Amino acid sequence: MASQTDRASTFERLHKKGDPVVLYNIWDTGSAQAVAEAGAKAIATGSAPVAMAQGFADGQNFPFESALENARRIVAAVDLPVTMDLEGAYAEDPSGISENVQRALDTGVIGFNFEDQVVGTSDLYDPQVQARRVAAMRNGCETAGIPAFVNARTDLFLKAPVETHDARMLDLAIERARVYADAGADGFFAPGLRDEALIGALCQATDLPVNIIALPSTPPTSRLAALGVARVSYGPVPYRMMLAWLQEQARTALQADM
């Protein structure tokens, strides 16, 4: 089995503008093994499905210790790089972020999603404040000696109705990408962004690999690749589809028993 450092390097190399790595988000060891056997090049947890599968709401409601143990089991179950959705790192201050990142890396994961929303609210951190938080995450990785991939997420588009996504909002996102890159981010995640012109402009405006989430109304992966996207993830979509399938199968079986 490859070392954690080797897996981190492999994961970083998977991010290529125009040839995106596809991450079909999972929530436990069983779903991780299923996706690995389907041919995945890497495994990514999603905070929402991880929490919901255990009966919790998204937003750091799943206890941190439980999230770490879940990540540790997933890493042990697959021989692939595993990146963890760490939400807001379960901490406000830089020292807490750095410490929690080191604890998360101890599970064997090699990357993180790190969001700029103030968890539990509809607000976003000021870009400069979030940049310091990103720097703290990078510091935690360096202290642990693991070149983990920090995927800095902005919730600008996710928090706003699709019809309000425009050039002004794109400029705000590009500025966040710039300061996050300067702080040590390796990638830029813009969930909720679906407009082709805006996606293409974002990919051109930043050197960071851009991550887009494949929601039902998002352009297909082939089109995202043409626009310059380097990473396509699925967030809670696989879990919700699985749950809908399970409910339908259960409904059919239960009605047949009546």
Write the CATH number for 129: 3.20.20.60
Number of neighbouring beta carbons within 10 Å of residue 41: 13
> How many alpha carbons lie under 13 Å from residue 83 in its C-beta half-sphere?
33
Alpha-carbon distance of 226 to 81, in angstroms, equals 25
Q: Where are the alpha helices (DSSP H) in the chain?
A: 4-13, 29-37, 47-52, 64-77, 94-105, 127-144, 167-183, 196-205, 221-227, 237-256
Q: Which pLDDT does position 231 carry in this prediction?
A: 98
Alpha-carbon distance of 117 to 40, in angstroms, equals 29
Alpha-carbon distance of 33 to 157, in angstroms, equals 32
- 109: Cα separation from own chain's centroid: 13
Q: Which pLDDT does position 257 carry in this prediction?
A: 66
- The pair phi, psi for residue 8, each rounded to 5°, is -65, -45
Torsion of CA 27, 36, 102, 6, to 10 degrees: -170
Alpha-carbon distance of 143 to 133, in angstroms, equals 15
Domain that holds residue 67: 4-256
Number of neighbouring beta carbons within 10 Å of residue 64: 16
Alpha-carbon distance of 161 to 164, in angstroms, equals 6
Q: Which pLDDT does position 220 carry in this prediction?
A: 97
Split into its structural domains, the chain has a count of 1
Which DSSP string corresponds to 174-214? HHHHHHHHHHT-SEEE-TT---HHHHHHHHHH-SSPEEEE-
Ranges of residues in the chain whose predicted pLDDT is under 70:
257-258
Among 183, 226, 233, which residue's Cα sits nearest to residue 208? 183
Q: Which pLDDT does position 1 carry in this prediction?
A: 76
Alpha-carbon distance of 82 to 32, in angstroms, equals 9
